[in-house]
Amino acid sequence: MSRRKAKTYSGPKSDHFDGERFFDPHGAPPKRLREVLRWQFGGDRQRAKWPDWVENAHSDTPPPRVDGDKVRLCYVGHASWLIQTAGLNILCDPVWSMRVSPVKWAGPKRHNDPGIAFSALPRIDTVLVSHGHYDHLDVPTLSRLTKSFAPRIITPLGNDLTMQAADAAIKAESYDWHDRVELGGGIAVTLVPTHHWSARTLFDRNRALWASFVLETPAGKIYIVGDSGYGGGKHFRRVAEAHGPLRLALLPIGAYEPRWFMRDQHMNPEDAVMALADCGAEQALAHHHGTFQLTDEPIDAPALALAAALDAARIPRERFAVLQPGQVVEI
């Protein structure tokens, strides 16, 4: 019996697509298998032990809608956010699953509850999914959202095929870098390049695109970075030039050790502080920490290192805040 080949994106060549795979002309290729094995099984590995479970100090019950020129953001956990503005409810990289893995019995497991219970979600209009890694594109959660709310799902090229192969009911729309998408109510989102890569298996690396988002809201533009290496800051500076001024940036600060392996795909807190300076956002909120242990640093290391990096750069700590799941910020 022949194995059915998974459907992948097909389209014209561009400055970041060679006809078969996507690439970042200013980035670095993903690590090879031998480097993965060196990290996972090398004798010098020092993997911190996280607590089995951490009870959240906060839990949010969002309002049905937020109207007017206000924006309400709730940190759900990891890279998941609920953004409410102009009568729209928008989820970013939603993950309510217990594991971020191709299987239910192994892989990174949650260490705390989502900051919003799924049953407490308001009606979701739009979902932004940045790329295909399991801690950002969580098919079980997207299927639950589809069954409950049937939202539009905006994602980079090729990720729609992953979603619809798993659940044909998912209403996924795929777009290229620099595409601007109207969401309604005067809200729009633009997909922008980011220093990363994508895969679901060992055999589909960079078959789908990855992106960050610039969300236009009545209170200003919000720069939503799901995953990114620093990469010399080029992408952050280009966003500032093309889309500034930015009112707020959601920047990842976790999953960064060991640096020799993670440098090209995940920022550490020092990188994130430089990214904030490069993009010029008025304010930043940290994410991508404290929920799933993807790498080797302790659970509290990103927040502690961010405070030290801000102090070293003479940036007030309140300009780049670290929220816990369930905490809310309004602008």
Closest to 299 measured CA to CA, from 103, 65, 110, 16: 110
Q: What is the pLDDT of residues 191-224, one digit of tens each?
A: 999 999 999 988 899 999 999 999 999 999 999 9
Three-state SS for 195-213 is CCCCCCCCCCCCCCCCCEE
For the chain, the domains span 48-330
Mean pLDDT of 104-132: 97
pTM: 0.96
Residue-level pLDDT at 27: 83
Taking the alpha carbons at both ends of the chain, their separation in whole angstroms is 57
Residue-level pLDDT at 314: 97
- Provide DSSP, 241-271: HHH--EEEEEEE-----SHHHHTTT---HHH
Say yes or no to pLDDT of 4 above 70.
no
Residue-level pLDDT at 3: 38
- CB under 8 Å to 325, separation ≥6 — which residues? 56, 58, 75, 76, 77, 112, 113, 114, 115, 290, 291
Say yes or no to pLDDT of 5 above 60.
no
Q: What is the pLDDT of residues 6-65, one digit of tens each?
A: 689 999 999 999 999 999 998 888 888 788 878 888 767 789 999 999 999 999 999 999
**Which of the four pLDDT bands, split at 50, 70 and 90, describes residue 1?**
very low
Q: In the chain, pLDDT over 70 holds for what percent of residues?
A: 98
Token reading at 160: 């729609």
Closest to 24 measured CA to CA, from 256, 162, 227, 223: 227
The DSSP bridge pattern shows strands 246-252 and 220-224 to be parallel
Class of domain 48-330: alpha beta
Residues 266/255, Cβ–Cβ less than 8 Å: yes
Say yes or no to pLDDT of 158 above 80.
yes
Residue 143 Rama label (left phi>0; alpha psi -120 to 50; beta): alpha
